[in-house]
């Protein structure tokens, strides 16, 4: 019995420090891996992208190496086969638009057309009919905005208006009624921002209004309220952002330089950690979460310039145990250890 209790106490000494001084401990990210995927057929940056069923649609963007031109190209990545094909082109060439999917349809919202003049047009793609139609125009022109689908609605945040001024606006599209409403403005006006939905919330991250911002603000559609979150460690704009298993991955971006940094926000603990850097730093990438990875198609490889065909994906490690549960985990392990010691002692006495 004494020997068994000694072994249990050694286990206690080994695991107890895990909980010491952590109220709560930040969750750790143990690292994932990057994998190169088949390249886009057209090099571009400042695209939009979204997933419908087993396909990823990459829409529009800027093309060209010395002078920029908007493209109407739509490429489709078939997830099972990892093959790229073309879909029917956009009605007009666009870049810097918001793109989101809901109800099995793709929505392309606002943007520029190679001229940096914000637009308010909305185009809707139906993959079943392979056709485009006009959607309800935005309440105001927006370029370099960001669109997020959440619980059957589409939310469009920030961007610049027709005068080129960064906005704090929140526009909400109800596809059922085909109408827009206006939500509460973001606390921070910005463009070239990104956002991702997790659970009941939408997290709007980074962007710029002259200089890049580290702002992270959480929007709750049910209450139409904003709450500030822990700032992003590296201020930047035009980053690749996607949510995976309750964490939001933010990779690359630009201003005041091109970044390869890959930072991860845990929405349950309001903590940032760092994961493996991008192998090929890029900006103007619309990242898309799949079932087992995050796909990052295209993007610029020089700050403000150099559209690319490069496509890679990040495969996150298994989700870490939430930090807030670490103390309970330790307590459970200790309890199991002592219970095991008692049983060993009992059997050792033959009773």
Phi, psi torsion values for 269, nearest 5 degrees: -115, -10
Cα separation, 315 vs 297, in Å, equals 15
Asked, for residue 55, whether it belongs to a domain, the answer is yes
313 belongs to a structural domain: no
Residue 328 lies in a domain: no
Per-residue pLDDT averaged across 154-171, rounded? 98
Q: Express each pLDDT in 119-154 by its tens digit.
A: 999 999 999 999 999 999 999 999 999 999 999 999
Other C-beta atoms closer than 10 Å to the C-beta of 19 total 17
Q: What is the tens place of the pLDDT at every residue in 171-228?
A: 999 999 999 999 999 999 999 999 999 999 999 999 999 999 999 999 999 999 999 9
Bridge partners, residue 332, by sequence: none
The total domain count for the chain is 1
Residue 271 in contact with residue 24, Cβ under 8 Å?
Answer: no
Q: Which of 22-36, 135-149, 289-303, 314-328 comes out lowest in average pLDDT?
A: 314-328
Which range marks the domain in which residue 126 is found? 39-305
Weakest mean pLDDT among 38-47, 171-180, 264-273, 325-334:
325-334
CA-to-CA distance for 291 and 141, rounded, in angstroms?
Answer: 34
Angle between helices 2-15 and 326-348 (to 10 degrees): 170
Cα separation, 50 vs 58, whole angstroms: 7
The answer to whether the pTM exceeds 0.75 is: yes
What is the rounded distance in angstroms from the CA atom of residue 44 to the CA atom of residue 183? Answer: 32
In a domain, 135, yes or no: yes
Whether residue 86 lies inside any domain: the answer is yes
User: Which residue matches tokens 């396909």?
Assistant: 55
**CB 288 within 8 Å of CB 49:** yes
- Residue 75 forms part of a structural domain: yes
Q: What are phi and psi of 82, to 5 degrees?
A: 60, 40
CA gap 129, 111 in Å, rounded: 24
Report the pLDDT value the prediction gives residue 335, as an integer from 0 to 100. Answer: 42
Find out whether 94 and 145 touch, Cβ atoms under 8 Å. no
Structure confidence by residue, pLDDT tens digits, 329-340: 333 443 434 444
Contacts of 325 (CB under 8 A, 6+ apart): none
CATH number at residue 191: 2.120.10.80
Per-residue model confidence (pLDDT) at position 84 = 98
The whole-number pLDDT of residue 30 equals 53
Residue-level pLDDT at 318: 62
In a domain, 329, yes or no: no
Q: What pLDDT does residue 53 have?
A: 98
> What would the two tokens of residue 271 be?
């903590």
- Spatial separation of the C-alpha atoms in residues 297 and 56, rounded to whole Å: 10
pLDDT at residue 280 is higher than 90? yes
83 closest CA partner among 49, 48, 40: 40
Judge whether 169 lies within some domain: yes
The band of 68, judged by pLDDT with boundaries at 50, 70 and 90, is confident
pLDDT mean across residues, the chain: 86
Q: Is the pLDDT of residue 50 over 70?
A: yes
């Amino acid at each position: 019995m004494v020997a068994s209790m000694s072994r249990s106490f050694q286990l206690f000494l080994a695991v107890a420090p895990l909980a010491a001084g952590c109220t709560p401990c930040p969750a750790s990210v143990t690292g994932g891996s990057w994998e190169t995927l088949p390249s886009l057929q057209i090099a571009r940056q400042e695209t939009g992208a979204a997933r419908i069923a087993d396909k990823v649609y990459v829409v529009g963007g800027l093309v060209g190496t010395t002078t920029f031109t908007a493209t109407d190209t739509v490429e489709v990545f078939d997830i099972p086969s990892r093959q790229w094909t073309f879909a029917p082109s956009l009605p007009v060439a666009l870049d810097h638009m918001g793109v989101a999917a809901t109800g099995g349809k793709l929505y392309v919202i606002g943007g520029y057309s190679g001229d940096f003049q914000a637009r308010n047009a909305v185009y809707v793609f139906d993959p079943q009919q392979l056709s485009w139609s006009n959607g309800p125009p935005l309440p105001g022109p927006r370029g370099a905005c960001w669109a997020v689908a959440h619980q059957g609605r589409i939310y469009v945040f920030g961007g610049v208006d027709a005068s080129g001024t960064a906005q704090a606006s929140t526009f909400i599209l109800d596809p059922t009624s085909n109408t827009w409403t206006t939500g509460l403005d973001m606390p921070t006006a910005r463009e070239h921002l990104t956002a991702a939905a997790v659970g009941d919330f939408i997290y709007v991250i980074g962007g710029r209004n002259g200089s890049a911002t580290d702002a992270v603000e959480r929007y709750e559609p049910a209450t139409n309220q904003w709450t500030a979150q822990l700032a992003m460690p590296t201020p930047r704009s035009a980053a690749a952002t996607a949510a995976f298993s309750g964490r939001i991955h933010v990779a690359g971006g630009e201003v005041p330089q091109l970044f390869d940094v890959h930072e991860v926000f845990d929405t349950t603990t309001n903590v940032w950690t760092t994961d493996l850097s991008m192998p090929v730093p890029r900006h103007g990438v619309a990242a898309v979460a799949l079932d087992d990875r995050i796909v990052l198609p295209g993007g610029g490889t020089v700050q403000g310039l150099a559209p690319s065909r490069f496509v890679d994906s990040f495969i996150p490690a298994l989700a870490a145990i939430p930090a807030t549960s670490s103390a309970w985990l330790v307590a459970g392990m200790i309890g199991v250890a002592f219970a095991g010691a008692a049983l060993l002692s009992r059997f050792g006495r033959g009773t």
